[in-house]
Structure 1
Amino acid sequence: MSAEKPRQSFAGLWNISFGFFGIQIGFALQNANMSRIFQTFGARIDDLPWLWVAAPLTGLLIQPVIGHLSDRTWLGRLGRRRPYFVAGAILAALALVSMPLAPFLLFAAVMLWVLDASLNISMEPFRAFVGDMLRKDQHAAGYAVQTAFIGAGAVVGSIFPWALEHLGVSNHAAGSAIPDTVRYAFWFGGAALFLAMLWTVVTTREYPPDEMAAFETNAPEAQSHSALATRNYGSSAIWIVAGAIIVWAVGAAALEKEVYLLGGLLIAYGIASGIGIALARSGAASNMLSSIVGDFSGMPELMKRLALVQFCSWSALFIMWINTTPIVTQVFFGAASAASPRYQQGANWVDLLFATYNGTAAIAALTLLPSLAARIGQARTHIVGLLCGAAGYASFFAMPDARWLLLSEIGIGIAWASILAMPYAILASSLPQQKLGIYMGLFNVFVVVPQLLVATAMGSIMKRFFPGEPIWTMAFAAVTLLLAALAMTRVDRLTREPPAERRSPLKGLSG
């Protein structure tokens, strides 16, 4: 009979997730200000998706690899996941300090790549870290606290340029210079990220491999590699052909050149899948490629259904992150040029809007969502959250001025809280402990792939059908969240619990 992990007190839950507060400060500064920085250097609205493509591409490449490696890491007192926290935090802090010093557009784009890669190195093991450290009946509580820190960190990161302006710091961009409000905010974010991550590293102790083995209640899933060896190469060929068709369509349909990246990724996965099958057939049991491909193709049914929900949800979120700045500055402040003072005012208002939805998420994660989940279950709570987000996006078309957009952000914030907490709480308890890192990394593929799809395809769609009218991207965001809510009904059917057996996700917050 397996041993039981000790129950964590609220202080333990705090320490386990506090590092995410710093990570999210970095992501919030990136999400709210990179379009602004790119436009300051002369980028057009149509160029923004391509410039943003670095962010999801690095996540796609890094997260499964880091998940696979962190499952197999043990560095003595530093532990299993914490080495990646430290490495990612140092690199991300350096990128945040360097970003505002960018002398031209290409440098800023490269630094976005470095920043997002570094944040992903720290972030991916954090999802598995909660599962490592907590009993199953505290998983939902752990992800709720983590979501609250994500919201709080994002509020700090989003509001800082706006707050600095009101404290008298210059918000004027002379020529192609980045405003002082943005520069100081990035430097503050670098320090805050590193210190928050250091707090979690110093105050937590990971369970060594022998203790983790004693806690394991699920039989380890060791079948993915052997199952991969029995597969033929047909599926690999399908991925390659699909990618080739997309590459051909770029020229045939006069699509934007960035769509080549989407086709190239499909071809690359098809080739990697074929190599993984060949290695598995040859008996190379310990190689990383076969392990990742085998685990991806052998995902549990619940994970597959949640993956579709994630795909739709994160498509909507990435649309918002890319386009909110040009929408607000152009539609609500009447300024399309980054050289205009009205543009800079609008860009700072976007920081406040992003702070609003993140603050709403922090509150909802600890109040509204637990109450709903106790009444109707986690899956149906997520459906409600997604519908709130769809309403928030759609309301952009009805708001008379920028101040009313604060109401839109409340609905988006509820959806954001649910997206960050509910899928992971549902999933974590169903996965084997020994593969928690790789499965969380693979699950996050369905966070980054839709971002790549938006980054490569949205520019072509908008240029062809809605040139110069970025507000229509919010209609796409609303529809994709409605599709996510519909897909979540399939998860609900698989996970439905009798009312008497439901537990509040925050039960166990106190010692």
Structure 2
Amino acid sequence: MQVEENKPRLSFWQIWNMSFGFLGIQFGFALQGGFMSRIFQTLGAEKDAIPMLWIAAPLTGLLVQPIVGYLSDRTWHPKFGRRRPFFFFGAVFSTIALFFAPYSSALWMAAGSLWILDASINISMEPFRALVADKLPDSQRSYGFVVQTLIIGIGTWIASNLPWFMTQIGVPNTAEPGVIPDSVKFAFGIGAVVLFSSILYTILTTKEYPPENLEEFEKENQESSGFLKGVTEIFKNIFGMPNVMLKLGLVQFFSWFAFFTMWSFATPAITEHIFKATDTASVAYNDAADSVGNYLGTYGLTSMFFALILAFITSKVKINRKLVHMFSLFAGGAGFILIYFISEPWMLHICFALVGIAWASILSMPYAMLSSSVNPKQMGVYMGIFNMFIVIPQIIAALGGINYMYKLLFGEEVVFTMVLAGTSLIVAGLCNLFITNKGVTHDG
């Protein structure tokens, strides 16, 4: 564990401002996670082929995240700071990709849009994680990551409901076969505006601390400059990661396998199992798909309220991060599994409310634990490397892991993908028991 740095405690609104860009990032992720499978199905993709269409996104993240983290650790400009340049360029490319994604006329175009969108969001996202560790003392890091989660929850709820809202105000929700409905196009356009403007808000309202010893910082950068030295340094950090990070990585692996399964299969699973709708050009299917977005919004709304509770608690008392995370994952696992057993659509709100508890914890507790166990000078690269434990399970899932596992363990019905997701979250919760370092599991 790192020694507490001599950093001032920040107010709620200072932490809010430095995290506000996550609202836009989550607009991008929520629209991507809630509606890209709908776009793929509309363009003719079979259900079992959907995970493969998602594979470019995690593959890109596997490469982009450590590199961006490494570069941001070694960036400093008196005016623009360390992390903020990455916020800006990621926002520009994310905005463009998000706007044009629903105008795809072929599967390869939609998959390409997803690839560009995910890569661009990652350019902005990883430095946001590192910024919390840069700016906050260890005693405030759980609080800082929870505030991020609060903003993420708001973004998830609003963005997931945008196509439904567009339909309610009269925007067409159906189109010719193979054409994306206008309700989805409008939702993605609004998301693009929110993404750029919220990240710009953080850039304009947040200042960064300069390196403690600027001369030493520049000397270290000169010594490690060059492509080969950079790649060598990244691999050195990967193979030399702290033991705690490996244990947290195991928890992350099963957590993100579960959520990738949800993003890939929630629309076909719920529209087929609950609404009995399979024709993607029908009114019944498109209304059901809008409803899926509404239910996914519930997990964002719940994560927002759970994050509010955690923010209040962590601002007042020290918490056991490991136990909070373990029981939150158990709740999410139960929520996914219950989807198989319910018969009424309104019950999905209960299921996804439980999922939202897990989501709030996934976006805060692992990062708070990680930030207490790594060298502050390498926070960016380690945050990037840590996210390899997010993208690797997604790659495995996309390459057939989901299709193979749910059919092997449970049965042929696509709703069993949600049971698989729940089982994976419960395993993730149990993996927390391997983490025993009190300095990591408890607030500083």
**Superposed CA offset, 1:236-272 (max 9, x none):** xxxxxxxxxxxxxxxxxxxxxxxxxxxxxxxxxxxxx
1:432 aligned residue? 375
- 1:377 and 1:496 in contact (8 A); partners too: no
Residues 1:330 and 2:279 aligned together? no
- 2:55 and 2:398 in contact (8 A); partners too: yes
- 2:248 and 2:366 in contact (8 A); partners too: yes
Cα separation, 1, equivalents of 2:294 and 2:237: 41
2:92 aligned residue? 90
Cα separation, 2, equivalents of 1:74 and 1:2: 23
Are residues 143 and 211 of structure 1, via their aligned partners in 2, closer, same or farther at CA, if it must alter by over 3 Å?
farther
Deviation at 1:495, TM superposition (A): 2.3
Cα separation, 2, equivalents of 1:463 and 1:309: 20
Residues 1:37 and 2:39 aligned together? yes
**Bigger mean CA offset, 96-105 vs 346-355:** 96-105
Deviation at 1:2, TM superposition (A): 9.4
- 2:173 and 2:286 in contact (8 A); partners too: yes
Q: Which amino acid aligns with 1:38?
A: F
Residues 1:419 and 2:375 aligned together? no
Are residues 449 and 408 of structure 1, via their aligned partners in 2, closer, same or farther at CA, if it must alter by over 3 Å?
same
Deviation at 1:400, TM superposition (A): 1.2
1:478 aligned residue? 422
1:277 aligned residue? none
1:296 aligned residue? 238
1:391 aligned residue? 334
Cα separation, 2, equivalents of 1:381 and 1:482: 14
Are residues 431 and 332 of structure 1, via their aligned partners in 2, closer, same or farther at CA, if it must alter by over 3 Å?
same
**Bigger mean CA offset, 425-434 vs 310-319:** 425-434
TM-score, normalised to structure 1, is 0.81
Cα separation, 1, equivalents of 2:334 and 2:125: 29
Deviation at 1:457, TM superposition (A): 1.9
Cα separation, 2, equivalents of 1:72 and 1:291: 12
Map 1:211-230; keep pairs closer than 5 Å.
Answer: none
Task: Indicate the percent of aligned positions where both proteins have the same amino acid.
Answer: 43
1:400 aligned residue? 343
SS of residue in 1 equivalent to 2:363: helix
Q: Which amino acid aligns with 1:133?
A: K
**Superposed CA offset, 1:108-137 (max 9, x none):** 111110000100110011110111111221
1:246 aligned residue? none
Cα separation, 2, equivalents of 1:166 and 1:131: 42
2:170 aligned residue? 168
- 2:58 and 2:392 in contact (8 A); partners too: yes
1:6 aligned residue? 8
- 2:405 and 2:420 in contact (8 A); partners too: no
Cα separation, 1, equivalents of 2:144 and 2:319: 20
Q: What are the ranges of 5 or more consecutive residues in structure 2 without an aligned counterpart?
A: none
2:384 aligned residue? 441
Q: Which amino acid aligns with 1:206?
A: E
Q: Which amino acid aligns with 1:476?
A: L
SS of residue in 2 equivalent to 1:287: helix
Cα separation, 1, equivalents of 2:203 and 2:227: 33
Cα separation, 2, equivalents of 1:404 and 1:16: 36
**Matched residue count:** 436
Map 1:147-166; keep pairs closer than 5 Å.
Answer: 147-166=149-168
Are residues 410 and 370 of structure 1, via their aligned partners in 2, closer, same or farther at CA, if it must alter by over 3 Å?
same
Deviation at 1:486, TM superposition (A): 1.2
Residues 1:342 and 2:284 aligned together? yes
Deviation at 1:328, TM superposition (A): 1.1
In terms of Rg, which structure is larger? 1
2:48 aligned residue? 46
